[in-house]
Amino acid sequence: MQEKPVYILAIESSCDDTGAAVLCNNKVLSNVIAGQEIHAKYGGVVPELASRAHQQNIVPVVAQAIKESGISKNQLDAIAFTQGPGLMGSLLVGVSFAKSLAMALNIPLLAINHMQAHVLAHFIEYENSKIPTFSFLCLTISGGHTQIVKLTDYFSFEILGQTIDDAVGEAFDKSAKILGLDYPGGPFVDKYAQFGNPLSFKFPYPKTKNPLDFSFSGLKTAVLYFIQKKVKENPDFITQNRDDICASIQHTIINILMTKLELAVTQTGIKQVAIAGGVSANSGIRKALQQAETDLGWQCFVPKFEYTTDNAAMIGIAGYYAYLQNNFAANDSVAKARMTL
Ligand code: KG4
Ligand code: ZN
């Protein structure tokens, strides 16, 4: 007899994107996301504005996700929500909504760690999806985090290295801001880097006590001083060299990430390597991993674009595995701005 499918509604509201998705087991039926343009003009996420926008978006986004899934809300088996880490005001909107709807539908709740969800996005099944087996390494690179983790099971994470200051997404975004590019600047740096020479300018490589840790604050400062000096000499320096500057910054960042990953592979002997988080959309890191498959014999896993930046489908897949383990959340569970793996 075929087992009854599990339908999960997932809600993500940890930062500046309001997301809702419906999954049937490990497949995504719908994945709706409402971004918040308002932050671009401030050059970064404004927490107060983010929580207000979540309040406006949450009901229409959830309604849309249920509509697009083709199922009725009465068929849902559970509701997964992002418990943390993230901005408290943003998290509160998703958590409160999830709890209320679960109570109304009389179904259980699944509290999900956003960082685990970024990694577990690799288990979403779709046409031609490539799914890792345990154990594997994952480089999680986003606007808030930079980590190399080892997964021995769905919820067994060991952090091998992490940033001691800025996240890699911040390094992209802050460098972009110095160059006068819009927020979030990562995708712009990536776009202009395609046309530039990555060896035009040299930036320093950080040293960390744990060789698998990361540090990006020095790079941001180096970019700032470099640009200030050059612009003093030539006020048009940025416009005349934009592509080369972007290519050089991206080249430095990708080299840092790949050096650490290679070290992690050597230390653990694990050659299955995944990437996750917003920065895994970067074309430079994607190319570097492809190269590592050929040159180093790694087996690499790169998520579909829509599952790299913040989305609710990843919360749904993490929810599905939590559901299978009967790992339900109490109805008095609360949002957590800080949460470890
Ligand atoms: O995972 P995410 O959507 O949100 C966080 O949890 O932080 O990641 C957002 C980050 C931003 O810093 C953004 O600039 C960066 O991902 N990002 C990129 C690219 N696309 C998004 N960075 C470099 N290249 C890209 N193509
Ligand atoms: Zn994220």
Measured CA to CA, the distance from residue 78 to residue 25 in angstroms comes to 11
Quick check: is 86 in a domain? Answer: yes
Within the chain, strands assigned E span 7-12, 18-24, 27-34, 78-84, 109-113, 136-141, 146-153, 156-162, 272-276, 299-301
Strand pairing category for 272-276 and 109-113: unpaired
The CATH number of whichever domain residue 98 belongs to comes to 3.30.420.40
Quick check: is 44 in a domain? Answer: yes
Are 248 and 150 part of one and the same domain?
A: yes
Mean pLDDT on 141-162: 96
Measured CA to CA, the distance from residue 35 to residue 19 in angstroms comes to 9
Nearest CA to ligand 1 atom 3: 309
Are 315 and 285 part of one and the same domain?
A: no
Are 142 and 280 part of one and the same domain?
A: yes
- Measured in angstroms, how far is the CA atom of residue 277 from the centroid of ligand 1? 7
| 121-133 pLDDT tens trace | 999 999 999 999 9
Residue 91: CB atoms within 10 Å: 27
Quick check: is 333 in a domain? Answer: no
Q: Is the pLDDT of residue 5 over 70?
A: yes
User: Can you give the pLDDT at residue 48?
Assistant: 79
Q: Is the pLDDT of residue 112 over 80?
A: yes
Closest atom of ligand 1 to 17 CA is 3
- Measured in angstroms, how far is the CA atom of residue 171 from the centroid of ligand 2? 15
Are 175 and 213 part of one and the same domain?
A: yes
Are 203 and 253 part of one and the same domain?
A: yes
Residue labelled with tokens 């997404």: 169
Q: Strand, helix or coil at 106?
A: coil
Quick check: is 341 in a domain? Answer: no
Quick check: is 82 in a domain? Answer: yes
| 18-76 pLDDT tens trace | 999 999 999 999 999 998 777 777 677 778 788 898 999 999 999 999 999 999 999 99
Angle ∠(34,35,40) on CA atoms, nearest 5: 160
User: Can you give the pLDDT at residue 53?
Assistant: 87
Mean pLDDT on 159-172: 97
Probe ligand 1: pick from 17, 142, 191, max atoms within 8 Å of CB? 142
Alpha carbon 92 to chain centroid, angstroms: 20
- Measured in angstroms, how far is the CA atom of residue 170 from the centroid of ligand 1? 8
89 lines ligand 1 (CB under 6 A): no
Are 188 and 298 part of one and the same domain?
A: yes
Measured CA to CA, the distance from residue 37 to residue 112 in angstroms comes to 26
Measured CA to CA, the distance from residue 176 to residue 169 in angstroms comes to 10
190 lines ligand 1 (CB under 6 A): yes
Q: Is the pLDDT of residue 2 over 70?
A: no
Expressed as residue numbers, the domain containing 154 is: 132-303
Closest atom of ligand 1 to 142 CA is 8
Contacts 24+ apart (CB under 8 A), 235-242: 238/179, 238/180, 241/200, 242/179, 242/192, 242/196
Q: By C-alpha distance, which of 280, 271, 285 is closest to 121?
A: 280
**Which DSSP state fits 38?**
G
Measured CA to CA, the distance from residue 1 to residue 163 in angstroms comes to 49
Measured CA to CA, the distance from residue 106 to residue 91 in angstroms comes to 22
Mean pLDDT on 89-105: 97
Are 52 and 156 part of one and the same domain?
A: no
Quick check: is 215 in a domain? Answer: yes
| 29-45 pLDDT tens trace | 999 999 877 777 767 77
Ion ligand 2, residue ranges at CB < 5 A: 142, 310
| 253-306 pLDDT tens trace | 999 999 999 999 999 999 999 999 999 999 999 999 999 999 999 999 998 999
Probe ligand 1: pick from 309, 311, 315, max atoms within 8 Å of CB? 309
Are 223 and 316 part of one and the same domain?
A: no
Burial code (b: 16+ CB inside 10 Å, e: under 16) for 15-29 equals bbbbbbbbbbebbbb
Please give the tally of structural domains in the chain.
2
| 312, burial (CB in 10 Å: exposed 0-12, middle 13-18, buried 19+) | buried
Quick check: is 216 in a domain? Answer: yes
Q: Predicted confidence band at 340 (pLDDT cuts at 50, 70, 90)?
A: confident
Nearest CA to ligand 1 atom 7: 143
Closest atom of ligand 1 to 167 CA is 12
- Measured in angstroms, how far is the CA atom of residue 92 from the centroid of ligand 2? 16
Are 286 and 314 part of one and the same domain?
A: no
Closest atom of ligand 1 to 144 CA is 7
Quick check: is 329 in a domain? Answer: no
- Measured in angstroms, how far is the CA atom of residue 114 from the centroid of ligand 2? 7
pTM to 2 decimal places: 0.94
What number of residues does the chain have? Answer: 341
Are 136 and 271 part of one and the same domain?
A: yes
Cβ(159)–Cβ(149) under 8 Å? yes
184 lines ligand 1 (CB under 6 A): yes
Are 90 and 231 part of one and the same domain?
A: no
Closest atom of ligand 1 to 277 CA is 1
**Which DSSP state fits 198?**
T
- Average pLDDT, whole number, for the chain? 95
Are 181 and 75 part of one and the same domain?
A: no
Q: Strand, helix or coil at 136?
A: strand
- Measured in angstroms, how far is the CA atom of residue 199 from the centroid of ligand 2? 30
- Measured in angstroms, how far is the CA atom of residue 203 from the centroid of ligand 1? 21
- Measured in angstroms, how far is the CA atom of residue 278 from the centroid of ligand 2? 6
User: Can you give the pLDDT at residue 266?
Assistant: 98
Could you give the C-alpha distances from 172 to 19, 131, 150, 319, 328, in angstroms and in order?
A: 24, 28, 25, 30, 37
User: Can you give the pLDDT at residue 1?
Assistant: 59
Cβ(59)–Cβ(50) under 8 Å? no
Q: Strand, helix or coil at 272?
A: strand
